[in-house]
């Protein structure tokens, strides 16, 4: 019947997919190649988008004192925390998720200056301070605090003399703030403050090292005591 009617259902299906006339004299081999190619296209994109949506990474912070903390990140956001020796991580609470949403909203201001930090919650407290203070100034004011040399940009704000309450409920009387940005990466953070309404003045300095993927892998904290933190990333999927 197919030969009599000069009708090929396979060719008709291919025409529907590609939306144009196909030469009816195509060989069976060419039609088979088209079918395989089309099948690969249909399978490739859904599978890859599914993997991207569920990219899971275990992030471990190892402190010089021997203490370690481990969290589960999905698409660069902390979703759960491993507690004690339990193998299954515990999901963030609603309060923690709300705080996280505020944190990422504040982070957009820092990103507007070209600073992009992967897995930013590994330095949650530092970024809370930086983002909150910078966002309290107009961009024109911030421009007057910037010094640029080669690929290095330094924002140095002196004589702040103001109380700040951060999203983690921490209250500091801030004296000065300095951040160093190099090629879009936060390299150093210096902060002088008086904590919790006390008369004690603390100078805090933090330096960050990155891997080839732009992730923080090493933190050096210089304050009352020196502390070093090593960060490792283990991809799960």
Phi, psi of 55 (to 5 degrees): -75, 110
**Mean pLDDT (whole number) for 131-144:** 89
Mean pLDDT for all residues in the chain:
82
Q: Is the pLDDT of residue 7 over 60?
A: no
What is the predicted pLDDT for the residue at 177?
A: 95
**Mean pLDDT (whole number) for 74-95:** 88
What is the predicted pLDDT for the residue at 88?
A: 83
Closest CA to 166 of 122, 199, 190, 132: 132
Strands 77-82 and 90-91: antiparallel
Q: Is the pLDDT of residue 2 over 50?
A: no
**Mean pLDDT (whole number) for 24-28:** 56
Closest CA to 226 of 63, 105, 7: 63
Could you tell me which residue, 34 or 1, shows the higher pLDDT? 34
pLDDT digits (tens, 9 = 90+) for 99-130: 999 999 988 888 888 888 899 999 999 999 99
Q: Is the pLDDT of residue 10 over 80?
A: no
What is the predicted pLDDT for the residue at 16?
A: 59
Q: The whole model's pTM is what?
A: 0.71
What is the predicted pLDDT for the residue at 13?
A: 60
pLDDT digits (tens, 9 = 90+) for 178-223: 999 998 899 999 999 998 878 899 999 999 999 999 999 999 998 7
Greatest CA span in the chain, whole angstroms?
99
- Rg over alpha carbons for the chain, rounded to the nearest Å, is 27
Confidence at 149, pLDDT banded by 50, 70, 90 = confident
CA distance 15 to 47: 25
| 125 touches 117 (CB < 8 A) | no
DSSP string covering the chain: -HHHHT--HHHHHHHHHHTS---TT--HHHHHHHHHHHHHHHHHHHHHHHHHHT-EEEEEEEETTS-EEEEEEETTEEEEEE-TT-SSPEEPPHHHHHHHHHHHHHHHHHHTTT---BSGGGGHHHHHHHHHHHHTS-HHHHHHTEEEETTEEEEEE----EEEE-TTS-EEEEEEEEEEEETTEEEEEEEEEEETT-S--EEEEEEEEE-TTSBEEEEEEESSSEEEEEEEEEE--
pLDDT digits (tens, 9 = 90+) for 28-51: 657 777 766 766 666 555 444 443
């Amino acid at each position: 019947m197919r030969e009599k009617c000069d009708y090929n259902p396979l060719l008709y299906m291919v025409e529907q997919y590609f939306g144009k006339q196909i030469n009816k004299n195509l060989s069976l081999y060419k039609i088979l190649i088209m079918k395989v190619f089309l099948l690969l296209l249909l399978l490739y994109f859904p599978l890859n988008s599914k993997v991207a949506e569920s990219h899971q990474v275990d992030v471990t912070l190892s402190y010089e004192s021997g203490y370690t903390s481990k969290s589960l990140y999905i698409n660069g956001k902390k979703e759960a925390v491993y507690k004690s020796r339990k193998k299954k991580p515990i999901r963030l609470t609603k309060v923690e998720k709300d705080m996280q949403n505020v944190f990422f909203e504040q982070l957009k201001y820092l990103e507007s200056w070209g600073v992009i930090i992967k897995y930013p919650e590994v330095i949650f407290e530092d970024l809370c301070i930086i983002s909150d203070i910078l966002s309290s100034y107009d961009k024109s004011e911030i421009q007057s605090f910037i010094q640029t040399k080669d690929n290095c940009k330094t924002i140095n704000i002196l004589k702040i003399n103001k109380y700040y309450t951060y999203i983690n409920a921490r209250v500091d009387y801030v004296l000065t703030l300095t951040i160093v940005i190099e090629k879009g990466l936060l390299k150093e953070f210096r902060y002088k403050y008086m904590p919790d309404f006390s008369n004690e003045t603390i100078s805090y300095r933090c330096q960050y090292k990155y891997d080839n993927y732009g992730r923080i892998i090493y933190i050096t904290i210089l304050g009352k005591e020196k502390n070093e933190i090593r960060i490792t990333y283990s991809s799960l999927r």
